[in-house]
Amino acid sequence: DIQMTQSPSSLSASLGDRVTITCRASQAIRNDLNWFQQRPGKAPKRLIYDATTLQSGVPSRFSGSGSGTEFTLTISSLQPEDFATYYCLQHNTYPRTFGQGTKLEIK
């Protein structure tokens, strides 16, 4: 199985900050990686697919980069609604595997 190592597990930041979350795959997965945002009590929402493509309707302050084994999600200027938990998911191979999650909190 492919292991997805996501870091950090939690992050405190202020409004307007630029933040970066990283996912590392235990083996190369091309660009077969998605990023999700989950607010408490809600279903996950896809932000980025295929590592770099912004989901329709998602603000442009979100961006994704990477391929192979290392991937990043960047939020360029934090807004109040961005404080949530973020997950990466590899969709290269079954079983699909998620990162452990990054909880983004207000400093």
Partner 1 sequence: EMQLVESGGGLVQPGGSLRLSCAASGFTFSSWSMSWVRQAPGKGLEWVSYLSSTGTIYYADSVKGRFTISRDNAKNSLYLQMNSLRVDDTATYFCATGGGYGSWGPGTLVTVSS
Which positions lie near partner 1, rule CB under 8 A?
A: 34, 36, 38, 42-46, 49-50, 55, 87, 89, 91, 94-101
Report the nearest approach of partner 1 to the CB of residue 49 (Å). Answer: 5
Report the nearest approach of partner 1 to the CB of residue 82 (Å). Answer: 19
Select 18 or 91, whichever has its Cβ closest to partner 1.
91
Nearest-5° Cα angle at 10, 8 to 15: 110
Nearest-5° Cα angle at 86, 83 to 89: 165
Side chain identity, residue 86: Y
Cα distances (Å, whole numbers) of residue 86 to 4, 82: 13, 10
Select 33 or 75, whichever has its Cβ closest to partner 1.
33
